[in-house]
Amino acid sequence: MAYRRMVNPRIVPLAWFSAAWDKERQVLGPDPWAYGLGEANRKNLKTIVRYCHQQGLIGREMSLEELFLDTDPGDAGGDEGHY
């Protein structure tokens, strides 16, 4: 809902906000602050786990399912609710 509000040019008092926002969306996608275990976050979290293992911080590379409890089994981690 907040993203829909931002489409109004009078909400943000910056002259070039729209152009900057369009560029941000090109680079970062529609939701730069995505949360959950969606595809992009899964990739990043797997990389972090791999780095931790390589640096000896953890004894083995654990799966994300081992690290995170699924608190919302009905949510597939998709982009529902985003504009």
- Mean pLDDT for each 10-residue chunk of the chain (83 residues)? 68 78 88 82 94 98 91 61 45
Same domain? 49 vs 23: no
Residues 6+ apart with CB under 8 A from 67: 45, 49
Backbone phi, then psi, for 21, in 5-degree steps? -65, -40
Same domain? 46 vs 19: no
Residue 1 belongs to a domain: yes
Residue 13 belongs to a domain: yes
Instruction: Give the total number of structural domains in the chain.
Output: 2
Same domain? 26 vs 41: no
Same domain? 47 vs 59: yes
Q: Determine which helix (DSSP H) or strand (DSSP E) holds 32, and give its type and residue range.
A: none
Location of structure tokens 């595809």: 39
pTM for the full predicted model: 0.53
**What pLDDT is attached to residue 62?**
96
**What pLDDT is attached to residue 3?**
67
Q: How far apart are CA 9 and CA 61, in angstroms?
A: 47
